[in-house]
Amino acid sequence: MPLRLVLAPHMDDESMGCGGLLAKYPEDSCVVTMTDSGVRRSAEHDRAMATLGVTKWRNLGFPDGELPGLVTQTVSALDAVLAEVRPQELYLPFPSLHQDHIATYEAGMRAARISMSSNHWFPPAVYVYDIAAYDVNLYPTDLRWNIFEELSEEQVNAKQAACMCYESEVPSDVHPITSVREMAAAVGRPRLLKYAEQYALVRRVRR
């Protein structure tokens, strides 16, 4: 199975965006979060990872909300992560409204580049995942939701449970983080699937 690396701007984005995928392939997945959100969120993140069955994760510890001003540092850190983990599939957040999401997407794309360095890792496949908490985009992209990952009842349940681990992030009963099952059904049914997550393909090198 290919090793999957999910880059998340904050602790919770990985569960909202890729929780089903992580629950489906926990042993072949690694999660890297970009920002330090404090002790409480870190504890919630630990519980979410345990819920999804993911055992490989780390936090890069950049200041929450300040990623756009740390381009050189974030790209350098991700270069090092890619060289160490050597993933076959890289997952980046959609560059929607939040400044840290845009910065993580851009840093991830730069880190996924072809490099003159022999130590640089070139991930063969790059995908973008959806975080439904943001419905406004600051600038247009050519990204399209064109990959749909089928999820089982068990995997949707695990994703929902992982999202609910983030008690500090649940603002009300009516919110995307509390609507995992409904959104997975809305993505899946038009593709003749009971549940699914959607992804945008950026690059896939097949050998």
pLDDT tens-digit readout, 41-86: 999 999 999 999 999 999 999 999 999 999 999 999 999 999 999 9
Q: Return mean pLDDT, the chain.
A: 95
Q: Residue range 24-42: average pLDDT? A: 96
Q: How many structural domains is the chain composed of?
A: 1
Phi–psi pair at 186, nearest 5 degrees: -65, -35
As a whole number of Å, the CA-based R_g of the chain is: 16
Q: Look at residue 137 and tell me whether its pLDDT is greater than 90.
A: no
CATH number at residue 197: 3.40.50.10320
> Range of 55's domain?
4-204
